[in-house]
Amino acid sequence: SEHFNEIKDEAVRLLKNIDTMELGDLVEAVKRISAYKIEITDYLDILMIWYRDVLIYKATMNIDRLIFGEEIDSIRERAKKSSYEGIETILEALEKAKARLRANVNFDLVMELLLLTIKEN
């Protein structure tokens, strides 16, 4: 649907730019993400799929199995920057964020922690 594509585009834009974002930019990103609070699971799933692609590319250098194949330049760049451990840390942080949101932990806090973890890895 068009709404899902909007969520996907926002998620991809965040992932492409997170390395250059300052803390204020991250807080601003959380505000934008909160517009999708209802669909936050979809948003987090998109981030997980992106990092799955990064992991597959890093391990195989093969683009045939990527879901975000059209974003190969950004995926290649991320695969170079992140270690396997870093990608694993990010995937675990995404799972933790989902669990915390299900447990009604403060949305902004959960998302800020997640984005900081992604930025650091």
Q: Is 23 helix (H, G, I), strand (E, B) or coil?
A: helix
Complete DSSP assignment for 47-101: HHHHHHHHHHHHHH---TT-TTGGGHHHHHHHHHHS-HHHHHHHHHHHHHHHHHH
pLDDT, block means (10 residues), the chain with 121 residues: 88 94 93 86 95 97 95 96 97 98 96 96 95
The whole-number pLDDT of residue 101 equals 96
Cα(44)–Cα(95) distance, rounded to whole angstroms? 9
pLDDT of residue 106: 96
What gap in Å lies between CA 27 and CA 75, rounded to an integer? Answer: 24
Give the per-residue pLDDT at 38: 78
pLDDT reported for residue 3: 85
pLDDT, residue 2, reads 84
Q: Which domains are assigned to the chain? A: 2-120 (1.20.272)
